[in-house]
Amino acid sequence: MKALRILDRAVAVISWLTLLALAVLSVAKRLAGATLPCAWAETWLVPILTGAAVGYLTNYLAIWLLFRPYHRHGPFWGVIPRNQPRLAQSLGTMIPERLLPPEELAKTITELAGDFLRNPDMLARVRLAVTDLASEKGRAIAGFLMPYASNALRTVLADHLNARTVSRLVGFASEQFLAQPENRAMIAEGVVTELQKKVPQLTAFLRVGMREAALEYVNRKFGFMAKMLGGAEGIVDGIIGNLDWNGVAQRISERLATAETRQALAEEVSGLAGRLREYLQGAEAQHSLDQFIRAHSVQLENALAAYLQEKLPGMLETVLANNALWSVAEKKLLPHLQQWIEQELEAHSEAIIARLNLPGRIESAVNSLEPAEAHQIINQVSGRELTLLQVLGFVLGALAGLLMIFAR
């Protein structure tokens, strides 16, 4: 391309100099009768150079007039700028029909979409983008989802939070839990442990209870004798006070620690679930539960909403970071999505192409080009060919001049 440009410039210089020399020679011949010193130059050189110059400059001028002037100056206006709207309309019609047939374009779009969805790296990029978004915008996403989550939560509580469902759930859960021997043993062990911690209080309670029972018994059976001995309280306090209450506490603690006690507690717990379920199904319990739920439903909703508000961002990150979720998406969801998108693109290919409006877009794009910009684009695409056309004009003009010599 560089050599062609150099050749074009050389040919242009020769052509302009030829015309200039021809004009000078014509004037000199007309005014002074001057002639060239060499007869062969006038016979051979002048016709050949004149034909070459005319051939070159004719093509150069024709190409120049295609684009210039860019804007109208009286009757003068470049061919392409003057006909730009018509050319734009023609290109808008011709390119989609000849170069971009709608059927092939729709097929290509469908194939590209399928290739993209089948790309193994696509899901990895989607996962990375989604997890990054959840990490950066977790609070904002949670804030967006909270109104919907709160409404759903309110609906669920209104539809399912009642005495019947609560009693059924509690009864079922307790029966399922207490049906396991290890769970009953665990509860019995817990009861024993707590009772052993309370042995001092239990002993004190027992001491007070025994004193009251002993006073009532002595007054009832031996009232007159007790008065003679100084009163029942003194007698009872003396007896109760002389008992080894530390030993009593020790024996209670030891008795609680026996396997028999734990077994008895476990057997008692075994029947607890059934009694609890029967109680919860009773009218009194149902009424109490309904009253409790109505009184605290708003507090429960607010507490659950606050919990969701706090935990939802972390839940989103945890869910989206779960490999099992993306494995299911890759194996189950993605194939169906691929098939559905390809079917939709194929079924609506005509509508998609129509919405692309290629003729209108091409026409609008060509019309929006400035003439100078259009000239630059054409030069970028076919500048080499246009330059070659000018040089060929020079060669063909020279050949025409040579033929004229032989035709004399």
Residue 260 belongs to a domain: yes
Residue that finishes a domain, picked among 281, 300, 328: 281
Query: One-letter amino acid identity for 135?
Result: S
385 contact partners, CB below 8 Å, separation of at least 6:
none
Host domain of residue 202: 163-281
Computed over every residue of the chain, the mean pLDDT equals 76
- The two tokens of residue 13 are 């210089």
Residue 291 belongs to a domain: no
Residue 236 belongs to a domain: yes
pLDDT in tens, 212-269: 777 777 677 666 565 665 666 676 677 777 777 788 788 878 887 888 888 887 777 7
Residue that finishes a domain, picked among 281, 300, 324: 281
Q: What is the DSSP letter of 244?
A: -
Residue 110 belongs to a domain: no
138 contact partners, CB below 8 Å, separation of at least 6:
313, 314, 316, 317
> How far is C-alpha 17 from the chain's CA centre?
69
Query: How far apart are the C-alpha atoms of 295 and 202, rounded to whole Å?
Result: 36
Q: What average pLDDT score do residues 374-396 get?
A: 79
Give the burial class of 194: count Cβ atoms within 10 A of its Cβ; 0-12 exposed, 13-18 middle, 19 or more buried.
Answer: exposed
Residue 224 belongs to a domain: yes
Residue that finishes a domain, picked among 281, 298, 326: 281
Going from the C-alpha of 199 to that of each of 23, 214, 331, the distances in angstroms are 136, 22, 62
pLDDT in tens, 124-182: 777 777 777 777 766 777 777 777 777 877 777 777 777 777 777 666 666 677 777 78
Residue 328 belongs to a domain: no
The segment with the largest mean pLDDT, out of 27-36, 52-61, 118-127, 233-242, is 52-61
Look up the pTM and report it: 0.45
**Residue located via tokens 């020679």:** 25
Residue 294 belongs to a domain: no
Query: How far apart are the C-alpha atoms of 241 and 270, rounded to whole Å?
Result: 40
pLDDT in tens, 64-110: 887 877 787 777 777 777 877 888 788 778 877 777 777 777 777 77
The band of 56, judged by pLDDT with boundaries at 50, 70 and 90, is confident
Residue 270 belongs to a domain: yes
Number of domain units in the chain: 2
pLDDT in tens, 290-348: 787 777 777 877 777 777 777 777 777 777 777 777 777 777 777 777 777 777 777 77
> Which conformational region is residue 393 in: left (phi greater than 0), alpha (psi within -120 to 50 degrees), or beta?
alpha
